């Protein structure tokens, strides 16, 4: 791949020229007495972490280890104290399972015989740490959305003994596309709509296997994301002894699902699944295939640094951003390194920039500020899940989490988006500083994508810590909203979780990242000094956890 390397190197040269230009144009008139974020430090961190030499920052790999030591060194250089006793590292023990399923998944029975091709038509893996999984004639059942939600009086598994069987379930939840915001929050995805939930519920029910039907619109990402994200090495936290996991879990393509359900005599499986009286439908077919698994127990690290507070040093504000990405995948146009520049070298760059800004304050903040670069987000928010199960700082004394993931790389925006708008009072603080920048707040423009459940702040929220996840929106300061939306869609379709998510993308403009980083710094700085305890808002599913009701 010499040619490709040369190509990348050329782009880096152009980029450097670009950066110098941005640096010069970076609103010099606003450089007043306010503490500022070091834009060169942020840009350099993003550029470094997303360089090919980090090989896509997959935990355990040399590239992943390189990212950990780079961040540890950076935290030290900035002057942060170790965040975990006398160490900058929190060990996160995991098992890496590389499943190699048969080329063909065989489905057969009285309603027909089918073969699905691995990667093109199905993907499958397992969380069982065993070397071989042999699925033999596991009966297929269509289980709607695969949801058990007592608060909506909804149970897709009702009356079904699913032991030894394989369920086919739909992505998202029944509220999607129904035009009723009180029914599963309408188009806003609930946690029930997430693939993680589908796997968890199928395991709780004791299913042998679970296959989610991919559909680009309700899933909010194309098949390529499934193909890249759910094949190859997968990481899991080591589950406590006796925890049941499905024999296999995976996805099938929409067309294949249509064929199978049609053969099973299910007229329109989407419509069927949305019926309030939906009952699981046995499909008259069973699935067989084998999977060889390569197992490797290993551990990765969250990198934790802190700046002790003064008079309220036992109260904490945690900034977080995941450092990991997807490593090396199938080549696309000759490039196989998933550089993850937007996702999430950008957030890690912001984390480093904010840490430096706090360190450079003439007077340290009253509360302690913690900076965590988290591992294994891409594999199911594992670094933050581990932190939430093994918190270093008491959750009750943790005032807020401010998370940064996939910052806005398209330049300055007039709007600032709050993901999961309406959750906590942290939003009001964010609004105050957005206004100061002459910007306005918008709720997530794509609530159907379920982003509130798709980054690490969710695991902080799950243990009650008020969490803020916000970033520049789509209303570009010069090019407007339509342009922003078009760019967003293009990025989702072409670069998200693909080798082309690179710092060398010609649309990359660091000025939006800088503005958002400044905003998030100011939000944390205010809370660090004003003694307030921002609360979850009325109606938030996390309020009761925080307030111990």
Instruction: Name the site residues for Zn ion (rule: CB under 5 A).
Output: 343, 378
Closest separation between CB of residue 230 and Zn ion, Å?
13
CB of 417 to Zn ion, least distance (A): 17
Count of all residues that appear for the chain in the document: 549
Query: Least distance (Å) from Zn ion to the CB of residue 277?
Result: 38
Three-state DSSP class for 455?
A: coil
SS3 491: helix
Neighbours of 104 (CB within 10 A): 15
Q: How near is the Cβ of 253 to Zn ion at its closest, in Å?
A: 21
Instruction: Give the nearest distance from C-beta 410 to Zn ion in angstroms.
Output: 17
DSSP string, 79-118: TPEESBTTBSEEEEEEEEEEEEE-SEEEEEETTEEEEEEB
* Min CB(348)–Zn ion separation in Å: 12
CA distances 312 to 308, 395, 527, Å, are 9, 15, 11
Min. distance of Cβ 308 from Zn ion in angstroms? 32
Buried b (16+ CB within 10 A) or exposed e, 429-466: bbbebbeebebebbebbbbbbbbbbbbbbbbbbbbbbb
Task: For the CB of residue 324, give the shortest distance to Zn ion in the complex, in Å.
Answer: 9
Complex with Zn ion: residue 324 or 427, whichever CB lies closer = 324
Nearer CB in complex with Zn ion: 378/427: 378
**C-beta atoms surrounding 213 within 10 Å:** 25
Report the residue number, 378 or 502, with the smaller CB distance to Zn ion.
378
Report the residue number whose CB is nearest to Zn ion. 343
Q: Which residues pair with 301 in a beta bridge?
A: 91
Tell me how far, at minimum, the Cβ of 267 lies from Zn ion, in Å. 37
- Cβ 440 to Zn ion, closest distance in Å? 27
Structure tokens at 43: 């840009």
> In this complex, which beta carbon is closest to Zn ion, that of residue 52 or of residue 378?
378
In angstroms, give the least distance from the CB of 254 to Zn ion: 22
Between CA 156 and CA 208 the distance in angstroms is: 16
Report the C-alpha dihedral over residues 266, 270, 275, 280, rounded to 10 degrees. Answer: 50
Tokens representing residue 145 in the block: 């959305």
Q: Please report which helix (H) or strand (E) contains residue 368, including its range.
A: strand 367-374
Give whichever of 335 and 343 is closer to Zn ion, judged by the CB atom.
Answer: 343
What is the Cα–Cα distance from 467 to 471, expressed in whole angstroms?
13
Q: Name the nearest CA neighbour of 327 among 375, 295, 364.
A: 375
Token look-up 């939306």 returns 485
Q: What are phi and psi of 82, to 5 degrees?
A: -60, 140
In this complex, which beta carbon is closest to Zn ion, that of residue 232 or of residue 391?
232
Q: Which is nearer to Zn ion, 157 or 451 (CB)?
A: 451
* Distance between CA atoms of residues 347 and 67, nearest Å: 14
For residue 85, give every residue at least 6 positions away whose Cβ sits within 8 Å of its Cβ, in sequence order, or none.
Answer: none
Nearer to Zn ion, 374 or 429 (CB): 374
497 in the Ramachandran plot: left (φ > 0), alpha (ψ -120 to 50) or beta?
left
What does the block give as tokens for 344?
Answer: 């999430």
**Which of 135, 464, 114, 509 is CA-nearest to residue 318?**
464
CB of 164 to Zn ion, least distance (A): 34
Q: How far is the CB of 235 from Zn ion (least distance, A)?
A: 14
Other residues' Cβ atoms within 10 Å of the Cβ of residue 52: 18
Q: Which of 22, 61, 52, 77 is nearest to 341 (CA)?
A: 52
Residue whose token pair is 């909010």: 220
Taking the least distance from each CB to Zn ion, the nearer of 92 and 406 is 406
């Amino acid at each position: 791949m010499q040619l490709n390397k040369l190509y990348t190197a050329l782009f880096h040269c152009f980029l450097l020229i670009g950066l110098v230009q941005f640096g010069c144009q970076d609103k010099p008139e606003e450089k007043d007495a306010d503490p500022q974020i070091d834009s060169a430090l942020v840009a350099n961190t993003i550029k470094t972490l997303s360089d090919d030499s980090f090989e896509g920052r997959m935990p355990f790999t040399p590239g992943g280890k390189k990212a950990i030591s780079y961040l540890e060194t950076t935290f030290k250089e900035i002057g942060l104290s170790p965040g975990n006793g006398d160490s900058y590292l929190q060990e996160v023990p995991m098992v890496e399972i590389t499943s190699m399923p048969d080329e063909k998944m065989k489905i057969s029975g009285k309603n027909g015989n089918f073969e699905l091709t691995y990667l093109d038509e199905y993907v499958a893996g397992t969380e069982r740490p065993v070397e071989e999984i042999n699925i033999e004639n596991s009966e297929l059942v269509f289980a709607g959305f695969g949801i058990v939600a007592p608060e909506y009086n909804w149970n897709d598994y009702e009356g079904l003994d699913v032991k030894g069987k394989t369920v086919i379930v739909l992505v998202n939840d029944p509220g999607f596309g129904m035009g009723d915001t009180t029914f599963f929050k309408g188009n806003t995805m609930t946690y029930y709509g997430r693939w993680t939930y589908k796997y968890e519920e199928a395991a709780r029910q004791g299913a042998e296997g679970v296959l989610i039907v991919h559909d680009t619109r309700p899933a909010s990402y194309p098949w390529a994301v499934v193909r890249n994200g759910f094949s190859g090495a997968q990481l899991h936290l080591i589950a406590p002894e006796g925890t049941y996991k499905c024999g296999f879990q995976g996805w099938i393509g929409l067309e294949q699902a249509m064929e199978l359900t049609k053969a099973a005599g299910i007229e329109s499986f989407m419509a069927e699944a949305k019926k309030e009286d939906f009952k699981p439908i046995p499909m008259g077919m069973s699935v067989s295939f084998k999977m060889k698994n390569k197992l490797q127990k290993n551990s990765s690290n969250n990198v934790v640094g802190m700046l002790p507070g003064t008079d309220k040093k036992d109260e904490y504000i945690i900034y977080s951003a995941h450092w990991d990405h997807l490593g090396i995948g199938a080549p696309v146009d000759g490039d196989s390194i998933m550089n993850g520049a937007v996702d999430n070298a950008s957030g890690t760059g912001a984390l480093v920039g904010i840490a430096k800004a706090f360190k450079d304050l003439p007077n340290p903040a009253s509360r302690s500020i913690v900076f965590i670069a988290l591992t294994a987000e891409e594999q199911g928010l594992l670094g933050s899940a581990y932190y939430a199960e093994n918190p270093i700082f008491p959750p009750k004394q943790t005032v807020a989490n401010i998370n940064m993931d996939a910052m806005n790389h398209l330049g300055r925006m007039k709007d600032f988006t709050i993901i999961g708008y309406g959750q906590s009072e942290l939003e009001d603080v964010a609004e105050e500083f957005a206004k100061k920048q002459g910007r306005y707040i918008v709720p997530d423009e794509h609530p159907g994508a379920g982003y509130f459940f798709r980054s690490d702040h969710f695991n902080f929220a799950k243990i009650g810590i008020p969490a803020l996840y916000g970033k520049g929106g789509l209303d570009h300061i010069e090019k407007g909203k339509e342009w922003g939306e078009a760019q967003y869609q293009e990025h989702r379709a072409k670069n998200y979780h693909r080798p082309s998510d690179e710092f060398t993308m010609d649309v990359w403009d660091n000025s939006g990242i800088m503005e958002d980083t400044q905003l998030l710094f100011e939000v944390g700085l205010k809370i660090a000094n004003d003694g307030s305890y921002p609360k979850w808002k009325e109606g938030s599913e996390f309020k009761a956890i925080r307030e111990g009701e």
